[in-house]
Amino acid sequence: MEPVCVADYEELAERTLEPGAFGYYAGGAGDEQALAGNVEAWRRLRLRPRVLVDVTEVSTATTVLGTPVSMPLLVAPTAIQRLAHPDGEPGMARAAAAAGTVMCLSTLATATLEQVAAAAPDGARWLQLYVFRDRGVTRSLVDQAVEHGYGAIVLTVDAPRLGRRERDLRSGFRVPEEITVPSVAATGRWAGATPLELLGAIDSSLTWGTLEELRSMSPLPFVLKGIQTAEDAALACEHGVDAIVVSNHGGRQLDAVAPTADLLPEVVEAVAGRLEVYVDGGVRRGGDVVKALALGARAALAGRAPLWGLACAGAAGAERVLELMRNELELALALCGCTSPEQVSRAHVSELHNP
Ligand SMILES: Cc1cc2nc3c(=O)[nH]c(=O)nc-3n(C[C@H](O)[C@H](O)[C@H](O)COP(=O)(O)O)c2cc1C
């Protein structure tokens, strides 16, 4: 049976992938409260449809950091995509380009920045950055991003240490030796790794004070991913970053945190229009994206959803997932009486209430 929604793709991916790999993709930290909470929080919100609006023509197109995209849904950076399918990150880049949206490439990718750029030369791509203690490697990644047409640097700030992912501990998951992570290989010898070992070379000493050093490595727009409070959102504004992603890393870092949908209003209020706010975590439906827009986000990102598509059918599968989410988004906009993402307002979502 042809999968018709993200949940169908997830089910099929579970049957397709080796259990350790599926657990790595699906799992979260600790009791997986943040993971489940992210999904539930979007579900808890209710859209407020407006009627008798001409919705013959509805466009899902918008811009992020000035880049035109077909929809306010971007591909979040997720590590080691070759584990899902041999198409890997080049395949995901092709899928994002075909769907007309941004592919955010993880530092822990299993292809080089050049290979990913070559796979989809006309696609929009951003580089997610983990900063290695070996600054030479980090500088080289940023230089490659500039050279190969990446449009932004997305610094992930919620993982100075790896969250405790118990599914991986139980399964003893290791990245197979034959799947190389070039950035990590550049920091030393590569012989496969556990997720903990993968992040072993990351610099956990970064502070607001050292941000400028990283930003000055390139002229590219600079995004912080992993902001979860109004306080840090305000600091991001003061430090002049271009955008932030409200994110708890898909529930994979600190488990006892609020769902990102619940945090969005306080962050949007603190930012007060000074930079673009994106959100990720638990986005499984196009309607979730409309809710994110209603709460003040410029766009949402999806991590697992396109990964499930990639796992099921490579680049074509990831593209189908992005396309189905775009269709859901278009339908939700139309039924809310909006002909574009810009028309979505706070009035399109009901107030938060306890479950
Ligand atoms: C398997 C997997 C690997 C991930 N790898 C990275 C990564 O390398 N860098 C990063 O910034 N975020 C990473 N993330 C977090 C995603 O960018 C994103 O925040 C999260 O997946 C959003 O939640 P969702 O999966 O519910 O959409 C990863 C998430 C998953 C599921």
Q: Is 90 in the pocket of ligand 1 (CB under 6 A)?
A: no
Centre of ligand 1 from the C-alpha of residue 224, in Å: 14
Annotated active-site residue 239? The verdict is no
- 191, two tokens: 């012989």
Could you tell me if the CB of 282 is within 6 A of ligand 1? yes
Residue 193 has what pLDDT? 82
pLDDT at residue number 352: 58
Nearest CA to ligand 1 atom 29: 78
- Looking up tokens 């307002």, which residue turns up? 345
Report the 3 state secondary structure along 127-154: EEECCECCHHHHHHHHHHHHHCCCCCEE
In contact, 86 and 314? CB cutoff 8 Å = yes
Per-residue pLDDT band at 353 (split at 50, 70, 90): low
For residues 183 and 312, the model is more confident at 312
For residue 256, the cross-strand partners are none
Residues 6+ apart with CB under 8 A from 9: 3, 305, 308, 309, 311, 312, 317, 321
Rounded CA gap, 47 and 125, in Å? 31
Q: Which of 85, 148, 239, 249 is catalytic?
A: 249
The pLDDT assigned to 284 comes to 98
* Ligand 1 pocket, mutate which of 249, 304, 310, 321 (most atoms under 8 A from CB): 249
Is the CB of 27 within 6 Å of ligand 1? no
Name 194's Cβ contacts closer than 8 Å, sequence gap at least 6: 168, 173, 174, 175
Say if residues 204 and 218 touch (Cβ distance below 8 Å). Answer: no
Tell me the three state secondary structure of residue 254: coil
- Percentage of residues of the chain with pLDDT beyond 90: 91
pLDDT tens-digit readout, 112-163: 999 999 999 999 999 999 999 999 999 999 999 999 999 999 999 999 999 9
Residue 244: predicted pLDDT: 98
CA distance 14 to 170: 17
Six-digit token string for 190: 């590569």
Biggest CA pair distance of the chain = 63
Angle between helices 260-271 and 33-44 (to 10 degrees): 70
What is the pTM (predicted TM-score) of this model?
0.97
Other C-beta atoms closer than 10 Å to the C-beta of 4 total: 10
Rounded average pLDDT over 10-14: 98
Mean residue pLDDT across the chain: 96
| Residue 77 alpha carbon to ligand 1 centre in Å | 6
Nearest CA to ligand 1 atom 11: 156
pLDDT of 190 reads: 67
Q: For residue 27, what are its two tokens?
A: 């799992």
Residue 351 in this model has a pLDDT that exceeds 80: no
Half-sphere exposure of 170 (CA within 13 A, CB side): 13
**For the segment 83-111, what is each residue's pLDDT rounded down to a tens digit?**
999 999 999 999 999 999 999 999 999 99
Give the other-Cβ count within 10 Å of 254's Cβ.
Answer: 16
| SS3 label, residue 215 | helix
Our CA dihedral for 146, 152, 157, 161, rounded to 10 degrees, sits at -50
pLDDT at 355: 47
| pLDDT value at residue 188 | 75
Give the model confidence (pLDDT) of 303-321 as tens digits. 999 999 999 999 999 999 9
**pLDDT at residue 327 tops 80:** yes
pLDDT of 191 higher than 80: no
CB of 88 closer than 6 angstroms to any ligand 1 atom:
no
Q: Which residues of 33-44 are buried (b: 16+ CB within 10 A; e: fewer)?
A: bbbebbbebbeb
Query: 223-249 pLDDT, tens per residue?
Result: 999 999 999 999 999 999 999 999 999
pLDDT at residue 354 above 60?
A: no
